[in-house]
A and B are shown apart, each in its own frame.
Chain A
């Protein structure tokens, strides 16, 4: 029985690509020589394929349901239109001089009631809006998305001709920003799709050129990078010069008004809350500078870190009024800024966490954040230095020459991704801590064909080689999106 369970585990490790090259060889030999093991392998394979079918059927059924619903709505729409025409046409004929008026659009604005009991000295909220993104990547066909098209075009890389296939692949997978329309003259709190909380004071932004305070509506774009796949496709890494960082989330924030870039005024900061599931000490704020296609992170000094559960209470009061269920005396870390507020369903809905299906992973208990005050927009990162005392070594992996290739080192014990340097048919990773378990991620494009390799190894290994598998573009994209080490 024990051997049977061990064999099942071994097969799982094989399917999950967790075996080293020598272990893979031994595995294949066992398959050839041990008939019982071969039967077990086939059973497991069949079972996994069965699970895949089950999942796929679920998606097909969902697609079918939506198709049927849309068809029904379309028919209903046509019927209603016909009925409306039957009613309206005689009326129009009789009242030819009449005019048709429409209601003004309803604004989703919430004012803070005077009866609330929360302290206001840290963030004097006058009026706060719950902001819904006017654009995000999962809703490309909505009318709202069209509003962003001008600024999207302005920053989109338009020269695809000189890019490699892999750059084009990453570009097609690149995360789209969420775009929010905000009123610059009011305090605003925004919760982004993956849980980032932004607290913006009124009149915080100035025009980059004229240095004048911006009035009126602004466009704020936020791209969140918490997932490994998003980090890889944006070609982001976790390096501050030569030092390795562990990331708690990266952001790219830009603000504009009528295509003019804005920046934070010198007297104002932007408060950012990075959500986390497991608290880690010594997280600090870094800002990024693009350096030859890669972003290098620089530590921002004198930034205070706070850990907060739930958004600032002022936001909750603004959204739900002072009757919101709160525990005033149960403060967590810094009582004059944040207080623990019981999360409930109402609260969840208010934050639009459930507005998108892709966001099911965010639950009540996840809403805990590192808070920072940033004085700059652009690339922002919540990180900590990996200060383990292990000897630093150079890790080298042979990839050959000539191919369009991307190789990265992903650490398994902490959230870090390093780029490799190509030199003499090898990818080199300098100054990595010895004996660290890592995954070498590599994709290449050669003679019209994509290949992928994911190799488990440790940084002290001298003979790691990559075994590339042919993959279709669709499979490659799915594999990249499914990278889940973080």
Chain B
């Protein structure tokens, strides 16, 4: 599968297919992380984060992928692992002389807490917020879909869920 094909999957909204293809590059990234003292789970987390950075960059109007997907994901993965090492102060990371920094990853790490605060919500809250924010559904239709007695109830429930997410967020950060 060449990079062009993967790019066309992204362009046609077939993200899962694109990610499936990109996972073919994972064994080489895993090797890198293992060679730098990481575990298999670290490698999986790093690669997942690198895929998010790649995708977010592809969405930018001024982003041009100048190398292959493999080269790009390799560099981002190195950066992410080095950053994680720095934060944990576990090892001396001399081996990671970074020639470039990935601002997108640094931005992205700000949203990790928000993601965690959302994923810790109950299923019903998650469903409601996804329908509202992701599907852009009206409260009337949300009330129908989730069997609330009225759109007003759905609206109130949404604010309660938001407040819960905020409480989760504060708890994670403290």
Question: How far is it, in angstroms, between the C-alpha of A106 and the C-alpha of B7 when the chains are bound?
Answer: 38
B4 → chain A closest CB, angstroms: 13
**Residue A67 lies at the interface, judged by CB distance under 8 Å to chain B:** yes
Q: Which residues of B contact A48 (CB under 8 A)?
A: 133
Q: Which residues of B contact A63 (CB under 8 A)?
A: 15-23
Q: Which residues of B contact A52 (CB under 8 A)?
A: 111
Q: How many residues of B contact A (CB 8 A)?
A: 47
* Contact of A46 with B110 in the complex, beta carbons under 8 Å: yes
* Contact of A57 with B48 in the complex, beta carbons under 8 Å: yes
**Residue A463 lies at the interface, judged by CB distance under 8 Å to chain B:** no
B147 → chain A closest CB, angstroms: 13
B158 → chain A closest CB, angstroms: 9
Q: Which residues of A contact B133 (CB under 8 A)?
A: 48, 51
Stretch from A158-166, A256-264, A370-378, A470-478 that touches the partner:
A470-478
**Residue A5 lies at the interface, judged by CB distance under 8 Å to chain B:** yes
B155 → chain A closest CB, angstroms: 9
* Contact of B17 with A47 in the complex, beta carbons under 8 Å: no
The listed residue (A49, A61, A472, A484) touching B111 by CB distance below 8 A is A49
A468 → chain B closest CB, angstroms: 11
B56-86 toward A: CB 8 Å interface, digit per residue (1/0)? 0011111100000000000000000000000
* Contact of A474 with B10 in the complex, beta carbons under 8 Å: yes
**Residue B51 lies at the interface, judged by CB distance under 8 Å to chain A:** yes
The listed residue (A8, A59, A172, A449) touching B15 by CB distance below 8 A is A59
Question: How far is it, in angstroms, between the C-alpha of A64 and the C-alpha of B21 when the chains are bound?
Answer: 9
* Contact of B118 with A59 in the complex, beta carbons under 8 Å: no
Q: Which residue of A lies closest to B111 (CB)?
A: A49
A457-476 toward B: CB 8 Å interface, digit per residue (1/0)? 00000000000001111110
Question: How far is it, in angstroms, between the C-alpha of A413 and the C-alpha of B109 when the chains are bound?
Answer: 41
* Contact of B19 with A62 in the complex, beta carbons under 8 Å: yes
Q: Which residues of B contact A5 (CB under 8 A)?
A: 159
**Residue A91 lies at the interface, judged by CB distance under 8 Å to chain B:** no
Q: Which residues of A contact B10 (CB under 8 A)?
A: 474
**Residue A56 lies at the interface, judged by CB distance under 8 Å to chain B:** yes
A173 → chain B closest CB, angstroms: 8
* Contact of A472 with B23 in the complex, beta carbons under 8 Å: no
Give the number of residue pairs across the A-B interface with Cβ within 8 Å: 115
- Known A51-B118, A53-B111, A172-B11; contact A66-B58, beta-carbon cutoff 8 A: no
B69 → chain A closest CB, angstroms: 13
Question: How far is it, in angstroms, between the C-alpha of A52 and the C-alpha of B130 when the chains are bound?
Answer: 10
**Residue B90 lies at the interface, judged by CB distance under 8 Å to chain A:** no
B148 → chain A closest CB, angstroms: 17
* Contact of A60 with B111 in the complex, beta carbons under 8 Å: no
Q: Which residues of A contact B59 (CB under 8 A)?
A: 472, 474-475, 478
* Contact of B166 with A43 in the complex, beta carbons under 8 Å: yes
Q: Which residues of A contact B111 (CB under 8 A)?
A: 46, 49-50, 52-53
Q: Which residues of B contact A470 (CB under 8 A)?
A: 61-62
Q: Which residues of B contact A46 (CB under 8 A)?
A: 110-111, 113-114
Q: Which residues of B contact A475 (CB under 8 A)?
A: 59-61
Q: Which residues of B contact A50 (CB under 8 A)?
A: 111-118
**Residue A481 lies at the interface, judged by CB distance under 8 Å to chain B:** yes
Q: Which residues of A contact B154 (CB under 8 A)?
A: none
Question: How far is it, in angstroms, between the C-alpha of A67 and the C-alpha of B47 when the chains are bound?
Answer: 14
Q: Which residues of A contact B169 (CB under 8 A)?
A: 47
* Contact of A64 with B159 in the complex, beta carbons under 8 Å: no
B151 → chain A closest CB, angstroms: 14
**Interface CB pairs A-B, < 8 A, 15:** A5-B159, A8-B162, A48-B133, A50-B117, A51-B134, A53-B52, A53-B112, A57-B115, A63-B17, A63-B18, A67-B20, A67-B23, A68-B23, A475-B61, A478-B13
Q: A63-B23, A472-B62, A475-B61 provided; 17 other pairs, C-beta below 8 A? A: A8-B159, A54-B118, A56-B55, A59-B15, A60-B48, A61-B48, A63-B15, A63-B19, A63-B21, A66-B16, A67-B23, A470-B61, A470-B62, A472-B63, A473-B11, A475-B60, A484-B135
Residues on B close to A: CB < 8 A?
Answer: 10-13, 15-24, 26, 48, 51-52, 55, 58-63, 108, 110-119, 129-130, 133-136, 159, 162, 165-166, 169
